[in-house]
Structure formats: structure tokens, C-alpha cells
């Protein structure tokens, strides 16, 4: 057997490196800090590369991937890897999401304590020759309310530690079960606004998604108590940087602790100019133990994948889709979009997710079923779950991880087959039950090979789910559509398609496909139209 070649393009912990170098079948090259221009001509000589955040794996870099089969990220974030480009080239992308959970947790605690007691400022003051004790009057954490947004791995660990300080911990995370919060002794809020009003300290532990980007702006800060502490060690952009700057400057926010920035490294960033904002250069994962953890996890999983053994944390499995016939690949793409659509129109926590496959196309199982694992689902079901979850969980949801995440979220996934459904012979249907409502979305692929959404609940449609849409639900009365068109026109937003459906009951829904982005202001204006019940921007 010829040896596998592995290239390491960043500094990774010795313990991880040793796993690779001690294997007689692996040739390891360490080229930490290698530039893309030097990497591109040689990347195809390697079976695997292992990176941290120093290498940006672009579509261009892997244009000619040669024998490259695996990209391993020794860390969590995959912002620096073009996952879609890698999938297209059949390259497995894997990360190590659990290795640095405690490192990030502990930095969060350090930030909370620093912000409460202004430790970094006091250190600087004393070292510059001052002895000013009055200037450093702090805030006691005991009996204060900590709000955690995102009660996943890091959020949960922060909760446990904050409780040991005697803090009252509350959380907002619409995607976990209440039982998880209960087991941590954390009160889960359904409504972010309600949490904002109660917190003395707030910390963010969500991925950066369309929903979490600018989750906190001046409007949200205005709901908080005066003198609140704001911590962000998750991803830059969750808290609007300009609005945070203004709020700290005005004294509304007592202090902030920020490890992550919208642009990294931050250049001319105002957050770096205020004494009461404590900043660190994205060091959440930087402990010896954290780096050892991610390096060992990634080295072990890269080895397993090279040897064809089972491995964890792959965020894509490109081979699955290519197992399908061309016809079925189109259904696969359509149902993933339908899952994405579902995530953007439903209200409440998903409790049941039922995939119904209708017609001859689905008579035979596409994949072998092993009923004791989440992989017993057919690829269509996995694609639908992935579409549903990635809207809120970000790019780390993959065809592999989607079923596990659904299981962790206690979503009851059902799959069934029918020979006909309603008036259709070939159809895929998603029935989504949440704690607030039940919705139905149906779609099919016509002979032209294009997938279409054919109904939402009782509204019949013909929508090609691709691009940006304004989706609205209104009382069917004259003038509403015209006003929507006028608002979009006035803002220079071009309408590329308009699909309207109504029921006898006087209710209507519409999908307006647009060529330009719809801002929050435009959406607010549309929502103010008389007769408008709901309006959303949907990305498909």
C-alpha cells in the first residue's frame, strides 16, 4: 500500500501531530503559514490537509484537487472553508466541534468577570503609576441575572459555572427542548425581548446565521436595564458593533467583553477605542488543552477516514447525493429547499417532522436501512432535515450531522410512502408539527426537470424555490398587492416573479421573487399595509 500524504498548513498541537507522524503509513509535511499561491500547485499531491483558521480553503484553491480527499479543520468554525466547493469536488470536510468547548466557556467567564470588575483597566492603571481605587468600583455577580443566548455546548457550560457564582441563569434558544434547560436549572424563555428586559449580564453562544446576525442592535439594547454587561465570545456580527459602541459610550452598557469581530483582524474598529470594552483577538479556543483537544480529534478522524474506517464530524458527505439517479437528485435538491422554506415560515419549536414520499419514484428504498441509527432515513428525509436545521444552525449542519442534531433536539422524524396523495401521483410532502401549529408543504419535479413548490397548507402555488422571496399572508381584499408592488418599486426592488394563491375564506398568500435585497425598513412598511397579516423575506 502506498503511503498517504497529509499536509498541515497551520500550527497544531504536538499531541495531534504525533498521532499522524507515528503512523508508518502516513507521510506528514508541516508547512505552517503556507500562502494559497504556494499551496495551490501542490495541494493535489496530498490525500488530506489539516488547517486551522490561517488557511482559507477557497473554490480556487481546490479547483484541481488531485488526490485530495479530506480537509480537516482543527477547530469548530468553518468560515474559512468553502464547503460547497469541497463537496462538489467530492472532498470530505471535517471539524472538531467539541475539542475547545471548555476553553471558550472559560474565556467567557473571564470576560464576564473582567467586565464586572474592570480587571484589565485596573491592571493598566496600576502599572502606569496610578493608585486609584475609586475608579474601579465594580459589580457583584452574586444574585444577578445572566441571560444566555444559545444554550448549546458552550452556553450550557457557562450556565453551570455562572450558577456556582450564585447567578440566576435564564436563556433564549428556540431550538432546544425545555427539558435540557430544566436539567441545567436554567429558565428557558420563548421570547428574546422578555429575556433582554431582565438581564444584568448577557452572553451569546449561537452560530452566526441570518437570524443571529445583528440580533442585538440599538433597539434591543434599549430594552435592557441600564448598566448591563454584554459579552460576545461566539461570532462577530451577532451584536451590532456600532450600536454596542454607542451604548457603552453613553453608559447604558456598563462594560462589554468581545473576543470576536465582524472583520478579523479588526481594522479601525471603534470597539477598540473605549476603555469599558475589553477585547481579545479571537482567543476563545486558545488554551493548551483546547488546542490539544481539537488537534487529537482531527488527527484521529482524518486517519480513520483515510483508512476507510468510520469517522465523526464530517460536515458533508458528497457521495450520498451522487448515488442517486439524476431524477432523484432533483427531488433531493427540491426537498432540501422545502426544508429550508419550512424553517423560515413555521412558528414555534419543531416537535414532529414528517416526510411523505408519493409515487413510483420512491417505491424502492434508495439506501439500505439500519433501523437503530438515524441513518435509517432515506436521503430525501436527511436532505429535508438538513434544509430545516441549517437555517438556524449554520453551515456546520451536514447530511451526516443533520439526523443527529434532529435527534438531539427531540424532533420526532417520520417517513412514509404513498402511491397517490390528494390529486397528485408524484409528490413530496413535509408535514411539520410545532408546539404552536401544523404546516404542510408539497412539491414535485415536472418533466422539465425543475422542482417546484406546489402547495403550502391549503394554498396551491407554482414556485421554483431558488433565490430571494417576499412571502406574505394577507386578507384577500383589493389594493394589497398593488401597495406591495408600489413599495418595492419605490425602493428600486425589481420583481422577477409573483405567485398568488387564495382561499374562499378570503385569505391569500403570495411569493414575490425579487432581484434585489429587501431591507428591514421595506419589510416593516409592507407589514403596515392594511390587510397584511404577515410578511417575511425568505432565502432559498
The DSSP H or E segment spanning 486 is helix 480-490
Does 193 participate in catalysis according to the annotation? no
Query: Which one among 5, 144, 168, 235 touches ligand NAD, defined by CB under 6 A?
Result: 235
Shortest gap between Cβ of 394 and ligand NAD (angstroms)? 7
Q: Are 369 and 379 in contact (CB under 8 A)?
A: no
Should residue 150 be labelled a site residue for ligand NAD when binding is judged by CB under 6 A? yes
- Between 413 and 514, whose beta carbon lies closer to ligand NAD? 413
User: What DSSP designation does 362 have?
Assistant: G
Nearest to 235 by CA among 218, 255, 211, 267: 211
Shortest gap between Cβ of 23 and ligand NAD (angstroms)? 28
CA distance 540 to 530: 28
Beta strand spans in 244-370 (E): 253-258, 277-279, 350-358
CA distance 100 to 75: 7
CA distance 75 to 96: 5
CA distance 449 to 446: 6
Should residue 111 be labelled a site residue for ligand NAD when binding is judged by CB under 6 A? no
Which entry of 52, 73, 205, 235 is annotated as an active-site residue? 235
Should residue 402 be labelled a site residue for ligand NAD when binding is judged by CB under 6 A? no
Should residue 102 be labelled a site residue for ligand NAD when binding is judged by CB under 6 A? no
* All three cell numbers of 2: 502506498
Shortest gap between Cβ of 447 and ligand NAD (angstroms)? 39
Should residue 77 be labelled a site residue for ligand NAD when binding is judged by CB under 6 A? yes
Torsion 156-50-319-58 (CA) sign:
positive
Supply the Cα-derived Rg of the chain in whole angstroms.
Answer: 25
Q: Are 301 and 94 in contact (CB under 8 A)?
A: yes
Q: Are 388 and 339 in contact (CB under 8 A)?
A: yes
Could you tell me how many residues of this chain bind ligand NAD (CB under 6 A)?
A: 34
Which entry of 282, 330, 354, 409 is annotated as an active-site residue? 282
3-state SS class at 60? coil
Should residue 379 be labelled a site residue for ligand NAD when binding is judged by CB under 6 A? no
Shortest gap between Cβ of 192 and ligand NAD (angstroms)? 7
Query: Which one among 102, 145, 148, 149 touches ligand NAD, defined by CB under 6 A?
Result: 149
Which entry of 63, 193, 264, 437 is annotated as an active-site residue? 264
**CB neighbours of 325 closer than 8 A, spacing ≥ 6?**
none
Q: Are 175 and 182 in contact (CB under 8 A)?
A: no
Shortest gap between Cβ of 238 and ligand NAD (angstroms)? 8
Which residue carries 412598511 as its cell?
A: 525
In sequence order, what DSSP letters do the residues of 194-227 get, joined into one string? HHHHH-SEEEE-----TTTTT-B-HHHHHHSPTT
Nearest to 54 by CA among 69, 35, 29, 27: 35
Should residue 340 be labelled a site residue for ligand NAD when binding is judged by CB under 6 A? no
Q: Are 310 and 304 in contact (CB under 8 A)?
A: yes
Does 336 participate in catalysis according to the annotation? no
Should residue 151 be labelled a site residue for ligand NAD when binding is judged by CB under 6 A? yes
Per-residue burial over 17-53, b if 16 or more Cβ lie within 10 Å, else e, is bebbbebeebbbebeeebeeeebeeebeebbbbbbbb
- Between 81 and 429, whose beta carbon lies closer to ligand NAD? 81
Tell which positions 251-310 bind ligand NAD, by CB under 6 A. Answer: 259-260, 282, 284-285
- Between 269 and 444, whose beta carbon lies closer to ligand NAD? 269
Shortest gap between Cβ of 121 and ligand NAD (angstroms)? 21
Query: Which one among 62, 71, 102, 104 touches ligand NAD, defined by CB under 6 A?
Result: 104
Shortest gap between Cβ of 101 and ligand NAD (angstroms)? 6
Should residue 211 be labelled a site residue for ligand NAD when binding is judged by CB under 6 A? yes
Query: Which one among 50, 57, 70, 76 touches ligand NAD, defined by CB under 6 A?
Result: 76
Nearest to 198 by CA among 232, 172, 233: 172
Shortest gap between Cβ of 131 and ligand NAD (angstroms)? 34
Does 11 participate in catalysis according to the annotation? no
Tell which positions 166-205 bind ligand NAD, by CB under 6 A. Answer: 172-176, 205
Should residue 207 be labelled a site residue for ligand NAD when binding is judged by CB under 6 A? yes
Query: Which one among 9, 95, 212, 513 touches ligand NAD, defined by CB under 6 A?
Result: 212
Using CB atoms, what's the residue nearest to ligand NAD? 152
Should residue 74 be labelled a site residue for ligand NAD when binding is judged by CB under 6 A? no
- Between 27 and 211, whose beta carbon lies closer to ligand NAD? 211
Query: Which one among 9, 95, 206, 398 touches ligand NAD, defined by CB under 6 A?
Result: 206
Count of beta carbons in the 10 Å neighbourhood of residue 246: 15
- Between 283 and 320, whose beta carbon lies closer to ligand NAD? 283
Provide the β-strand partners of residue 343: none
- Which stretch, 122-130, 229-237, 246-254, 383-391, contacts ligand NAD (CB under 6 A)? 229-237
Should residue 233 be labelled a site residue for ligand NAD when binding is judged by CB under 6 A? yes
In sequence order, what DSSP letters do the residues of 452-469 get, joined into one string? EEEEETTEEEEE---SEE
- Which stretch, 208-216, 347-355, 421-429, 480-488, contacts ligand NAD (CB under 6 A)? 208-216
Provide the β-strand partners of residue 429: 356, 442
Task: Enumerate the active-site residues.
Answer: 235, 264, 282
Q: Binding residues for ligand NAD, per CB under 6 A?
A: 76-77, 97, 100-101, 104, 149-155, 172-176, 205-207, 209, 211-212, 233-235, 259-260, 282, 284-285, 392-393
Amino acid at each position: 500500500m502506498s503511503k498517504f500524504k497529509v499536509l498541515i498548513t497551520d500550527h497544531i498541537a504536538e499531541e495531534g501531530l504525533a498521532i499522524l507522524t507515528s503512523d508508518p503509513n502516513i507521510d506528514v509535511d508541516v508547512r505552517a503559514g503556507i500562502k494559497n499561491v504556494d499551496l495551490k500547485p501542490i495541494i493535489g499531491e496530498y490525500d488530506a490537509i489539516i488547517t486551522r483558521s490561517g488557511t482559507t480553503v477557497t473554490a480556487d484553491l481546490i479547483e484541481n484537487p488531485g488526490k485530495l480527499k479530506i480537509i480537516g479543520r482543527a477547530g469548530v468554525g468553518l468560515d474559512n472553508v468553502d464547503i460547497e466547493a469541497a463537496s462538489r469536488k467530492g472532498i470530505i470536510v471535517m471539524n472538531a466541534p467539541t475539542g475547545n468547548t471548555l476553553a471558550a466557556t472559560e474565556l467567557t467567564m473571564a470576560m464576564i468577570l473582567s467586565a464586572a470588575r474592570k480587571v484589565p483597566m485596573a491592571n493598566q492603571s496600576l502599572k502606569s503609576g496610578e493608585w486609584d481605587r475609586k475608579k474601579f468600583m465594580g459589580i457583584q455577580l452574586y444574585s444577578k441575572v445572566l441571560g444566555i443566548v444559545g444554550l448549546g455546548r458552550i452556553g450550557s457550560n457557562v450556565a453551570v459555572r455562572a450558577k456556582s457564582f450564585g447567578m440566576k441563569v435564564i436563556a433564549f434558544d428556540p431550538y432546544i427542548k425545555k427539558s435540557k434547560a430544566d436539567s441545567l436549572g436554567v429558565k428557558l424563555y420563548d421570547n428574546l425581548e422578555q429575556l433582554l428586559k431582565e438581564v444584568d449580564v448577557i452572553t451569546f453562544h449561537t452560530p452566526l446565521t441570518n437570524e443571529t446576525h445583528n440580533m442585538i442592535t440599538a433597539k434591543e439594547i434599549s430594552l435592557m436595564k441600564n448598566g448591563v454587561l454584554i459579552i460576545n465570545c461566539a461570532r462577530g456580527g451577532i451584536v451590532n458593533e456600532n450600536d454596542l459602541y454607542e451604548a457603552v459610550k453613553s453608559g447604558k452598557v456598563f462594560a462589554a467583553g468581545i473576543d470576536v469581530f465582524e472583520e478579523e483582524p479588526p481594522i479601525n474598529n471603534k470597539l477598540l477605542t473605549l476603555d469599558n470594552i475589553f477585547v481579545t483577538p479571537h482567543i476563545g479556543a486558545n488554551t493548551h488543552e483546547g488546542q490539544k483537544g481539537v488537534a487529537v480529534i482531527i488527527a484521529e478522524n482524518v486517519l480513520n477516514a483515510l483508512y476507510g474506517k468510520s469517522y465523526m464530524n464530517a460536515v458533508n458527505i458528497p457521495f450520498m447525493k451522487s448515488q442517486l439517479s439524476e431524477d432523484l437528485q432533483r427531488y433531493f435538491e427540491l426537498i432540501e429547499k422545502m426544508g429550508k422554506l419550512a424553517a423560515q415560515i413555521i412558528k414555534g419549536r419543531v416537535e414532529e417532522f414528517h416526510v411523505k414520499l408519493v409515487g413510483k419514484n420512491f417505491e424502492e428504498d434508495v439506501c439500505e436501512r439500519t433501523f437503530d441509527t438515524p441513518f435509517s432515513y432515506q436521503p430525501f428525509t436527511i436532505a429535508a432535515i438538513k434544509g430545516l436545521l441549517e437555517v438556524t444552525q449554520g453551515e456546520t449542519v451536514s447530511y451526516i450531522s443533520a439526523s443527529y442534531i434532529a435527534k438531539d433536539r427531540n424532533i420526532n422524524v417520520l417517513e412514509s410512502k404513498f402511491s397517490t396523495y390528494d390529486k397528485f401521483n408524484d409528490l413530496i410532502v413535509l408535514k411539520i408539527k410545532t408546539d404552536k401549529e401544523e404546516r404542510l408543504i408539497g412539491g414535485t419535479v415536472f418533466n422539465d426537470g425543475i422542482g417546484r413548490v406546489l402547495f403550502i397548507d391549503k394554498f396551491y402555488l407554482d414556485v421554483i424555490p431558488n433565490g430571494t422571496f417576499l412571502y406574505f399572508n394577507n386578507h384577500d381584499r383589493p389594493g394589497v398587492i398593488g401597495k406591495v408592488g408600489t413599495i418595492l418599486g419605490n425602493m428600486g426592488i425589481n420583481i422577477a416573479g409573483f405567485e398568488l394563491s387564495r382561499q374562499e375564506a378570503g385569505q391569500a398568500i403570495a411569493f414575490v421573487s425579487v432581484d434585489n435585497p429587501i431591507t428591514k425598513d421595506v419589510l416593516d412598511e409592507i407589514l403596515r399595509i392594511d390587510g397584511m397579516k404577515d410578511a417575511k423575506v425568505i432565502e432559498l
